[in-house]
Amino acid sequence: MTRLGHRARDAVDAGPPEHRWPPIVAVVAAMVLWLLLPGYFFASFRFAAVIACGLLIVPLVVLNPRHLTRQTNWSRWLSVALALVLLAFNQVLLVRLVHELLTAPETEGVSVLIAALQLWSTNAIAFGLLYWELDSGGPVARASGLPPVRSDFQFPQEVTRPLEAWRPRFFDYLYVSITAGIAFSPADALPLTRRAKAFMALEALSAYILSVLVIARAVSAVT
């Protein structure tokens, strides 16, 4: 991160810890959207994905049931693993969706388009969770007020209001993910590290391919 960005984050007092439930609700929403997909979207694979994410969530909630105040090496790895597992499973389902958009008969057009909306939403959740976990060592490290090991994103508030006690929270990263999936580029926070740029590029590429195919499918359905 730039020196200005570092000073912005290090100069403020540690704010209140983040609530545990916003990211958990987002993950559960993604799991429900997976289960609601049509049957031809690898039913057994989707159930396995839901079970895997559920098993990863349980110890994280036990460690921090209400607020994110404690972190251990295993909980840190588990948190990042949850985001990566969510993302990896969703990418497989996106590949299946691309196949359906290209080959499904016209009679299944509405079903496929609804599935595209579901997977676009779960993709935004997965990337938002990953950004939230990676930036500056994760939510617990950001709330501690300690200098970040690595800052992956720079938010406008860190430059325009460097002396105020502002720290990004889960919704800020979810917003970054949603806008990146719509604009195919950073629309709020700037990615500063190569890994942040790589993940944002992957999100933009998948959203772009999905949008193009959905538009093409919708046009073919009405012509």
The CA-to-CA distance between both ends of the chain, in Å, stands at: 50
Q: How many CB atoms lie within 10 A of CB 178?
A: 20
Q: Domain residues for 100?
A: 3-222
Per-block mean pLDDT, blocks of 10 residues, the chain (223 long): 37 68 95 91 91 94 90 91 95 90 72 89 96 91 71 84 74 94 85 94 92 78 59
Beta bridge pairs of residue 191:
153
pLDDT at 146: 62
For residue 119, CA distances in Å to 1, 215, 222 come to 32, 15, 23
| Distance, CA of 101 to chain centre | 24
Determine the Cα–Cα distance for residues 19 and 111; give it in Å rounded to an integer: 36
pLDDT at 21: 93
Closest CA to 94 of 214, 196, 176, 201: 214
Rg (CA), the chain: 19
DSSP alpha helix (H) spans, the chain: 3-11, 21-35, 43-63, 73-103, 109-134, 139-144, 156-160, 170-183, 194-222
pLDDT at 7: 33
How many independent structural domains does the chain possess? 1
Beta bridge pairs of residue 190:
154
Tell me the CB-side half-sphere exposure of residue 71, using CA atoms within 13 A: 19
pTM to 2 decimals? 0.87
